Amino acid sequence: MKRFPLSLWLFALFIAALTSLPYLVGQWRTPDGWQYSGASAVPVGAQIDYNSHLAKMWQGYRGQFTYRLLFTHEPHLDLPVVQSFYLALGWLARLTSLSLPLVYHLARFAFTLTLVLSLWAFARRVFTQPRERWLVILFGTLASGWSWWLLFIDPVMTRTVAPIEFWLADAFNLFGAFQMPHFAAAMTLHIVTLLTFDDWVRTDKTSQRNLLWLTLALAGLAILQPYSLLLFIPLLTLLAAYHLFSSRLLTWRRGLWLGIPFGLHLALVGYQYLALNSDPIWRSFTEQNITASPLVTYYLLGYLPFIIPILLGARRFMLESADDRWWMPLLWVALVAMLLYAPFPTQRRYLLGVQTPLAVMAAYGWSRAVLPRLSRSWRGLATAVYLLLASIGLLAILLVNIAALANPVSNAAFYQPGEMQAFAWLRQNATPDDVVLTTFDAAGQGSGGRLVAALGQHVYLGHWIETADYLRKQADVERFYQPATTDSWRQQFLKETGIAYIWYDESARALGSWQPSAAGYLQPVFESDSISLLKVILNGG
C-alpha cells in the first residue's frame, strides 16, 4: 500500500469503471429476445476489431492452442504463439464457463487497473512529490487531444480523416484501454519493461531477478505487440549505451546479459514474421495490414494538450541538472516521432503507449513552469480546467457510446431476434468449419464479422485484413447476387470455395435482386422475418 496509496487504487477503480460504463449500459438496455455483442458502438472500426478478437477467443474456447483466420475460406497453417493472448482468454472462458464477451471485458477492466498502477510506478521513478505523480496519472489517463478543433477550423479535411480522438485508439492510453484488453496489457508491459531495465542497471543485488522480469516483459511484448521490436529494442539499446559509456553504471560484462531478453524478443518476433510470410493466406493478411499515419496536423493538434506544457517547461528542464532517468521518456518520444512516418506499414501502431512519456514530460512542464506563474489560490482551478478541456475528446467518445448503446434497435452492436434464431440453427446443425457465404462492405457493415463473433463460424468474407484477397472476394459476392450472373458461374464459385451455407439478409439483398431460394442447388433450411439460411447442394449431393 505504501507503493500504491489507497487513493490511487480508488482512482484506478474509478477509471476502470468509467471505461466499462458504456458496455454496462448496452447490457442493461438489451431488449428481450435480443443480445448485446459486447462491442462498442463508436467508432465503427472498433466493432470490426472486436469481432476479430472474439474469433481468436473462440478458438481457445474450443480447446485449441493455435490460431487461424476464420474470416477467409482458404485452408492455411494454424499458428502457435500468434495471438496467444486472446487464445488464452478463450481458454479462461472455457475453464470458467463464462461468456466470451464477459471474459473480454473482465480482462479489459483488470488491465486498465494495471495500467493506472504502472503509470504511478513510472511517475515515482522520476518525481518525488505526490502532486507531480498525480499530474502524471491525470495526463496519462483522462487527457486526450484537440484535433477535434479541425471540425471547426477545416471541416472539409475531416470528411476524409476524422479527428484522431474519435478513432485512433492507439494514440491515447484510456481510449485504447476502453476498446481492447491487449492494448491496456501492452501499455502496462511498456512501463514494466523500462522500469525493470532501469532496476537491473542500477541494482547489483537483485540483478538476476530483474533480468528475469525484463526477459518476461519483452517476451510478452513480442506476443502482444510484435512491431514493438522497432521501438523498444532501439530504446533499450540507447539506454544501455548511455549507462555503458556515460553513467558507467553498466559494464561490458553485465551488458552481455541483455542478449537473453533481447534474443528471446527477437526470436519470438522473428518467428511470427517468418510464419506470417511462409503461407500465402497469412502473407495476404500481412500485406493488407496497413496502418499508415494521418497528416502530421492530426498529431500536432492531437497531442497539443501535452505539447504546450512540455514546451513551456523545456527551458527550465535544460537548465536543471535532471536525473538521468529522464532519458527513458525523452528517448521513447523521440523514437516514436521517427517511426510515425518511417517506411513501414504499421506506422501509427508505434503510438501505443506514447501518452505515458508525454504525460511525464507534460507533468514536469505544468508543475515546474506553468503553476509557479500562478498564485497558489488559482493553481488547483487552472489545473482542473486545463485537464477538463484536454479530456473533451475522451468524454465525447464515452458519452456517444453510452447514448448509442442505450438505443439497441438502431445499433449494429446488438443481435436482433431473427439473427439469434439463425445463430441457434447454425449452432445445432452446422459445424464451425462449415464456410458460410456472408457480406462485408467498405464501411464494415455486413454479416461476416457478426457470425464470427457470435458463433466462431468460418465465413467467406468478414474483415478488411483477415479476409485474404478482400477486394476480390467483395466483388465476387456482389457478382453472386447480380441477376445477370449465370447459374453456372455461381455453382462453380460455390464448388471452388467450398461454401456450405448462404446467409441471406438485408445486406445481401442490397447487392442484387437475384433470389437464391429459386436456385435448385440451394436448399432453404431456415427462415425468419429478416434472414434466410440456404444449404448448398451441388452435383445432386
Cell 507533468, residue located: 363
Q: What is the pLDDT of residue 321?
A: 62
Q: Read off the pLDDT of residues 305-354 as tens digits, 9 standing for 90 and up.
A: 999 999 999 999 888 866 899 999 999 999 999 999 999 999 999 999 99
Which CATH number is associated with domain 416-536? Answer: 3.40.50
pLDDT digits (tens, 9 = 90+) for 288-304: 999 999 999 999 999 99
* Model confidence, pTM: 0.96
Closest residue by Cα to residue 272 from 204, 226, 239 = 226
Q: Which amino acid would we find at residue 118?
A: S
CB 502, CB 516: distance < 8 Å = yes
Position 465: which residue type?
A: I
Single-letter code of the amino acid located at 502: I
Q: How far apart are CA 380 and CA 364, in angstroms?
A: 16
Instruction: Give the pLDDT confidence score for residue 205 in this predicted structure.
Output: 67
- What whole-number distance in Å separates Cα of residue 417 and Cα of residue 315? 62
* Segments making up each domain of the chain, as ranges: 38-400, 416-536
Radius of gyration of the chain (CA): 25
The secondary structure of 273-296 as a DSSP string is HHHHHSSHHHHHHHHH-------H
- DSSP, res 258: G
DSSP assignment letter at 369 = I
Output the pLDDT for position 539. Answer: 74
Closest CA to 465 of 45, 164, 166, 39: 45
Q: Which residues does the chain have with pLDDT short of 50? A: 541
Helix (H, G, I), strand (E, B) or coil at 444: coil
- Which burial class, exposed, middle or buried, applies to 476 when counting CB atoms under 10 A from its CB (0-12, 13-18, 19+)? middle
Strand partners, 435: 499
User: DSSP class of residue 447?
Assistant: S
- Residues in the chain, overall count: 541
Cis peptide before 372 (omega within 30 of 0): no
Query: Which pairs count as long-range contacts for 119-125, CB under 8 Å and 24+ apart, including other chains?
Result: 119/173, 119/191, 119/356, 119/359, 120/4, 120/8, 121/3, 121/191, 121/195, 122/191, 122/194, 122/195, 122/356, 122/360, 123/360, 123/363, 124/3, 125/195, 125/198, 125/325, 125/328
Q: What per-residue confidence (pLDDT) applies to 423?
A: 98
Which grid cell sits at 57?
477467443
Distance CA(34)–CA(199), nearest Å, equals: 52
Query: Distance between CA atoms of 256 and 508, rounded to whole angstroms?
Result: 60
Nearest Cα residue to 498 out of 431, 445, 444, 451? 431
